[in-house]
Amino acid sequence: MEHDEIDRINILQASLRAMERSLAQALQGAPASDARTTLVAVDGRIPIRTTLPQRAFVKGDQRSHGIAAASVLAKVTRDRRMVALDATYPGYGFAQHKGYPTAAHRDALRRLGPSPIHRRTFRLLPD
């Protein structure tokens, strides 16, 4: 999911779309009777668009081993991307803060302005 799409549809809708895309990709080529498709577990309050049975779990990473494992994989993937972006956009500290609005991240934004990959709709949190 790219920053411009997140800006256009908002972070919640972007998260739901990312989950829907991940599910579609995971099921590509799987037979309809595949046991892996018996229940879709969603982390959060809002179900995703799918015809498969699903259940939304608030604090799903604390309640489901599968959601917890997916969360770890997502964070590792995000962290690797942030390290790569740090090389492309030096000075923002992406490799250190991984995109979280730390004081160092806010300071870099004040000094350098937003990079091409920063969301334009995100308002800086006060110090």
Q: Say what the pTM is.
A: 0.77
Please list the pLDDT of the chain residue by residue as tens digits (127 residues).
788 898 899 989 999 999 999 999 988 877 666 655 578 999 999 999 998 899 999 999 999 999 999 999 999 999 999 999 999 999 999 999 998 989 999 999 999 999 999 988 877 644 4
- Domain carrying residue 110: 61-114
Looking at the structure, tell me whether residues 1 and 33 fall in a common domain: yes
Looking at the structure, tell me whether residues 42 and 87 fall in a common domain: no
Identify whether 120 is part of a domain.
no
Looking at the structure, tell me whether residues 16 and 54 fall in a common domain: yes
Identify whether 36 is part of a domain.
yes
3-state secondary structure 69-105: HHHHHHHHHHHHHHHHHHHHCCCCCHHHHCCCCCHHH
Burial of 64 (0-12, 13-18, 19+ CB in 10 A): middle
